[in-house]
Amino acid sequence: MHKIVLSALLALSFSTSLSHAQSAWTGGDDLPTNPLACDATPATPAAAPYDGGEPTNAPDRKGKTIKVVDVPKLVGIGYFNATSKGIADAAAEMGNMDAKTDGPSKANIDDQITLIDNYITSGVDGILFAANDPVAIAPVLKKALAAGINVVGYDANSTPDARQWFVNQAEFNGIAKAMVDSMAAEIGEDGAFAIVTSTFTTPNQARWISEMQAYQAKCHPNMKWLETVEAQEDNILSFNQANTLINKYGDELKGIFGMTSVATPAAADAVTQANKCGQVAVVGLATPNAMKPYVNNDCVKSVVLWNPVDLGYAAAYVLRAVADGDLKPGATSVKAGKLGELAVINGSEVLLGAPTVFTKDNINDFDF
């Protein structure tokens, strides 16, 4: 894989006018932000005490075959098909993990909670999850911990005390800087943009948006945020929302940001069908297979995504390390098979690393 530092493309930024800054809702959460420097000065993650949860009376699982269920936000889309493949690859490689994926058909937190609750009842040793809502999912994850089940999140976190560890694809403020800088490069310092996200409670997207707003206000203060719309990680709704934005704002709209692997190709399709390629930039997160038509015809310049196969693979290895007792509070790194040593950050997070930037030069080299 061609790994590239986060200084390429992803996509987003936020409002600048006082009226926008005072808006009741921007699409982000209300947690503190930590915008990076406007230049390329890297930030060193600060050490923090372990803030994850602990299973109650967990049995000795070291080296033993464990039964694991992976419950992503939803099944049936390329992104989570890829994370599921990574989990399966790692389980096969380790030889002592029986892993399966079982998620809701839509990004619905109630369905996700029901699935997890059912697996607590039926009995598993470990749960991997990507949360649709960080707070709503917490009680059922705490129930799993109370039952002695090892719990590890990836992609989208819960409240920290509801799981032991979270495998973070990249730091939120780093993604925010890449997104805002990329959009500014495409549409200019005073360009106007809109955002297509999943749900207003999806934790990773809300966190990115908050950090983006903070970074944009600091480093690109004249960019204009028009609107953030919800599209439920649904292809048809994402297309319709992007199309509505194009029609609603006309020539004022210079860029659309896709916050999901569904929204980004749908927005690119809407721009293509509206004959707006070259007039409305599309930047965001997506799998290369979904974006190849739009990148190859020059409608989208580039797209960024960490390798979701690697993300699932890392999550499985973290869960194995937790079950074996090899990853404990206070650790600074963890071994993750072919990925090597992954750093522990923010107390109870494991950092996957830099994402891959897909452009016309390399996108056809990838297949996921």
pLDDT digits (tens, 9 = 90+) for 107-149: 999 999 999 999 999 999 999 999 999 999 999 999 999 999 9
What is the pLDDT averaged over residues 354-368?
A: 85
Residue 171's pLDDT is what?
83
Rounded mean pLDDT, 160-168 = 97
Task: Round to whole Å and give the CA distance between 9 and 2.
Answer: 14
How confident is residue 176, by pLDDT bands cut at 50, 70 and 90?
confident
Q: Calculate mean pLDDT across residues 168-194.
A: 89
pLDDT level of residue 45 (50, 70, 90 thresholds): low
pLDDT at residue 17 greater than cutoff 80: no
CB-count burial class (<10 Å; 0-12, 13-18, 19+) for 330: exposed
Burial 243-279 (b: 16+ CB within 10 A, else e): bebbeebeeebbbbbbbbbbbbbbbbbbbbeeebbee
Question: Above 50 in pLDDT, residue 20?
Answer: no
Given a cut of 70, whether residue 289 has pLDDT beyond it is yes
Instruction: Specify the pLDDT at position 367.
Output: 84
- Segment among 33-47, 185-199, 242-256, 265-279 with least mean pLDDT: 33-47
- pLDDT computed for residue 313 by the predictor: 98
Asked if the model's pLDDT at residue 9 lies above 60, the reply is no
Q: What is the mean pLDDT of residues 94-112?
A: 97
Tokens of 135: 């707070």
What residues have CB less than 8 Å from 357, skipping those under 6 apart?
2, 4, 8, 9, 302, 303, 304
Give the pLDDT score at 30: 86
- Return d(Cα 305, Cα 234) in angstroms, integer: 19
The strand order across the sheet containing 349-351 reads: 97-101, 66-71, 126-129, 150-154, 165-168, 349-351, 341-345, 333-335
Own/partner long-range contacts of 359-362 (Cβ < 8 Å, ≥24 apart): 359/295, 359/301, 359/302, 360/295, 360/296, 360/298, 362/2
pLDDT band at 16 (very low <50, low <70, confident <90, very high): very low
Average pLDDT over residues 340-347: 94
Q: Using CA atoms, how far apart are residues 94 and 53, in angstroms rounded to an integer?
A: 25
Q: Which amino acid is at 347?
A: G
Fold match flag (18-29+171-305 vs 66-170+308-353): yes
55-83 mean pLDDT: 96
Record the tokens describing residue 184, joined without a space. 């500014």
Tell me which amino acid residue 71 is: V
For the stretch 65-86, what's the b/e string if a residue is b when 16 or more beta carbons lie within 10 angstroms of its beta carbon?
ebebbbbbbbbebbbbbbbbbb
Q: What is the CATH number of domain 18-29+171-305?
A: 3.40.50.2300
**Domain definitions of the chain by residue range:** 18-29+171-305, 66-170+308-353
pLDDT band at 3 (very low <50, low <70, confident <90, very high): very low
pLDDT for res 26: 67
Per-residue confidence (pLDDT) for residue 302, from 0 to 100: 81
- Of the listed ranges 137-141, 196-200, 336-340, the least confidently predicted one is 196-200
Distance, in Å, from the CA atom of 152 to the CA atom of 116, rounded to the nearest integer, reads: 13
Least confidently predicted of 82-91, 103-112, 162-171, 353-362 = 353-362
CA–CA separation, 29 and 199 (whole Å):
12
pLDDT at 14 over 80: no
- Residues 328-336 have a mean pLDDT of 96
> Which pLDDT value is given to residue 211?
92
User: 112 and 128 in contact (C-beta within 8 Å)?
Assistant: no
Residue 101 has pLDDT above 50, yes or no: yes
Residue 219 CA, distance from chain mean position? 23
Strand 165-168 vs strand 349-351: parallel, antiparallel, or unpaired? parallel
Return the pLDDT at 158.
97
Which CATH class, in words, describes the domain spanning 66-170+308-353?
alpha beta
Mean predicted lDDT score pLDDT of the chain: 90
For the record, the structure tokens of 294 come out as 């739009």
Q: Has residue 10 got a pLDDT over 60?
A: no
24 pLDDT higher than 80: no
Percentage of the residues of the chain whose pLDDT score is greater than 90: 76
How confident is the model at residue 28, as a pLDDT? 86
- What is the structure's pLDDT at 23? 43
Query: How large is the average pLDDT for residues 178-187?
Result: 89
How many percent of the chain have pLDDT more than 70? Answer: 92
